[in-house]
Each structure stands twice: as C-alpha cells, then as structure tokens.
Amino acid sequence: MSVEAHEEPKKKKSKKALWITLLILLLIPVIAVGGYLFMINKAWNKSETFDNAMPNEDGTVTTPHNDELQALVDQAANATITNESGATLESNVSEGDANGDGILDAVAGGAVTDRPVNTASTDILLLGSDQRSGAEAQVVTGARADTIMVLHIPEDGSAAYLISVMRDTWVNIPGYGSAKVNAGLNYGGVDLQVATIEQLLGIQMDHVAEIDFQGFKALVDTLGGITVDVPLSFTASVPGYSFTAGPQTMSGGEALVFVRERYAFSDGDYQRVRNQRAFLRGVYNELKADGALSSASKLLQVIESVSPYMSVDSGLSPSAIVGIAQPVLANGNTQLVSMTLPNAGTGWSWDGQSIVVLDAAATSALSYALQTDTMPNYIATYGSD
C-alpha cells in the first residue's frame, strides 16, 4: 500500500508534464507566426504614411484650395485645345465630348462628383517618383510624380491589369478645371490626385502607393537580378548603358537606368512608360519564379528592401497586402496585362504646353470594363502591350 501511495503522484506529474509538452508544441507555430507578422509589420513601418490620402465620399478633398492652380485653370477655361498641327480637335468630338478636348462634358469645368461605388475588384493608384526627401514624404508633387498607373485586380484574381496614365494627360481636376493630370499633384495633395483618377476612370481606389525609383534598384538587388523583355533597343543617355530588344537580365543599377530613360526615344515619355511596365512584368515574373509570393522569408526580404522608399495610405498594411494577393495566389496562373489610357495623340494647351488628349469614347469603354469586370472584352477591342 505504501508503494502504491508513493507512485500515484508520479503518474499525475507525468500526465501534467505531457500536457505542458503538448501545449508548448501547439504554441510554437503560433509564436512563430506571431513573430513573423511582427517582423513584417516592423519592416513595413519603414515606409511613410500619407496624410488624407483619400477624398471624402462626396468627392471633395481636405487639401486646402490652391489659388495658383485655380488661376491656371481659369486662364484655360475659354481657350481652344489644338492638335500637334495647331488644328482644332473636331476629329476627336464624340457623344459626351462636344469640343473634342477628351474631357467628358458631364465632368468638365472643375465639376466635383461623388466617389464611385466601390466594387469587388481591387484598385490601387501607383505613383512613381524620381526623388524623395523626408520633408516632402507626406505630399507627392507634380515634379516628383513621374509615373501614374492604376493596378486593377478582378475579384477572382484571373488577371492583373496595369493601366498607365500619361502625366501630361489633359483632364478635369475636381474643384478646379482643365489641366494636366499631374497639376493636381503639383498644387494639391494625394487626395486630389485620387479624386481626379477616380472621376476619370469611374472606379474607386482602394489604396494609393508611391515608390521612389531608387526602390526599384533595391528590389532588383534583393531578387538577385531580373529578366526584362525589353520592348525596344536603345542606348541610354547615361554613359555606359545600352539595352537590346528581347529578354535581358538586369542588375539593380541597370534596371534603374532602364526605368528612368526617356531622352533616347522619339516619343519620350510614351516609351519610358512602356519600359516601366515591361520592368514591372519582369519583377512580377521573378517574384513568382523565385517563390517570393508564397515564401514567408523571401516576402519579408522584399518588403524590407522596398519599404524605405515607399509612401502609402494608412489602410495599406501587410495584412491588406496579403488579402490583395490571396486571389492572385489562389488562381495560380495570373497574368499581368498592361496598357496605356486611350488617347487621341498630343495637342497644345492655351499656354503652349504639349499635352496628351484623351479619347473620351475609348476611356468610357475602359471605365465600363473596369466597373463590370469585363476587361477581356475591352482588350479584344482596344488591345494591350
């Protein structure tokens, strides 16, 4: 009896130790995931956050009204936009665009409209800049916004569409009037730029992000180089760099020269934007091939490399990025399709600026396709890169 009485506590102690061991084993992955999420958030916190990134639901913005921008658009109000030859734009007249300036009559003259209804797709405004300073990190200016793109991902993740808006595009700036699309950035804030793009495309932006071009270099170096399908052979204005049409493996430094160059091309900014989209396709393909879209450690490396060069809206957190990527990863074979916002060529503004004149009818067709997730139909009619 004394032996049995002595052994009973040992059994209880043994069972207790077993439960503690099981509990620890169960907690290890939880702790690991928690630690990983902590590291992701810590890396992402190196990015800047925009103040007032989104417009109000009625389309107004919190950025103070800018008298300089108002004076600029007031001067243009009664002017005639002409094409490259100086002729008026009768050939660009369409239903809803009586004067052919590419701006729909319904939103001309600085009209402010409610934000579009949010759809099941994900739409992100991407801004690229070629310089950055700490004091300016809260506001993107026209001088710094060298690239304007919209990333559209349908709900099912079947494709990702990258739409370039040329920075000289003549649009309506809500609350002001007609001007180049980057005038809203030059004189206003990010919320004014978002309001302009939302009104132009008829879709609500879920997020906005800006990356300095130096971030491209850091990303490529982290990936160990990328392969880009170069659209056009050229020798860069930066000595020592040339690119040959077709697949070409680039280092971070080469990629930076590639996305910056515009002086080597007869159509300048048009070809630079094409090259930037080709670069982003190369990055996307490399991320998939390298496993960075599905590997936790590699994704952390990517975030750590680019976050110091980024400014984002307050809602674009690591968990939001995972949510955005989920349908793309689940699809398994999502293609990145790129295009330029439809235009009728270049023209001249009232003060002699070279501008890009929109094709209002084609832009309306694009807007409908974005709203209804029928982009394949749009591509079949208007094409892509």
Q: 161 — phi, psi (to 5°)?
A: -110, 125
Please check whether residue 360 lies inside any domain of the structure. Answer: yes
Please check whether residue 44 lies inside any domain of the structure. Answer: no
Give Cα 207 distance to the centre of its chain.
9
Cα distances (Å, whole numbers) of residue 61 to 112, 191, 192: 10, 6, 6
Please check whether residue 183 lies inside any domain of the structure. Answer: yes
Q: Determine the average pLDDT of the residues in 349-376.
A: 89
Please check whether residue 77 lies inside any domain of the structure. Answer: yes
Rounded distance between C-alpha atoms, residue 206 and residue 120, angstroms: 10
180-208: pLDDT as tens digits: 898 877 778 899 999 999 999 999 999 99
41-54: pLDDT as tens digits: 777 888 899 988 99
Share of the chain above pLDDT 90, in %: 43
What pLDDT is stored for residue 253 in this prediction? 94
Please check whether residue 39 lies inside any domain of the structure. Answer: no
What pLDDT is stored for residue 161 in this prediction? 94
**Residue 240 amino acid letter:** G
Structure-model confidence comparison of residues 216 and 26, the more confident one: 216
**The pair of three-digit structure tokens given for residue 7, joined into one six-digit string:** 């052994």
What confidence category does residue 366 fall into, taking pLDDT thresholds of 50, 70 and 90? Answer: very high
What confidence category does residue 137 fall into, taking pLDDT thresholds of 50, 70 and 90? Answer: very low
What pLDDT is stored for residue 15 in this prediction? 59
Please check whether residue 61 lies inside any domain of the structure. Answer: yes
What pLDDT is stored for residue 24 in this prediction? 53
317-357: pLDDT as tens digits: 888 887 887 777 777 777 889 999 999 888 877 667 788 99
Provide the residue range defining the domain that includes 115.
51-382
Q: Mean pLDDT: which of 69-78, 249-258, 305-314 is highest? A: 249-258
What confidence category does residue 232 fall into, taking pLDDT thresholds of 50, 70 and 90? Answer: very high
Rounded distance between C-alpha atoms, residue 344 and residue 273, angstroms: 17
CATH number where 288 lies = 3.40.630.190
Based on its alpha-carbon atoms, the radius of gyration of the chain, rounded to whole angstroms, reads 25
To the nearest 10°, report the CA torsion of 254, 213, 281, 125: -170
Task: Name the domain count of the chain.
Answer: 1
Please check whether residue 35 lies inside any domain of the structure. Answer: no
Rounded distance between C-alpha atoms, residue 125 and residue 339, angstroms: 15
Please check whether residue 160 lies inside any domain of the structure. Answer: yes
Least confident of 18-22, 27-31, 174-178: 27-31
Q: Determine the average pLDDT of the residues in 59-83.
A: 80
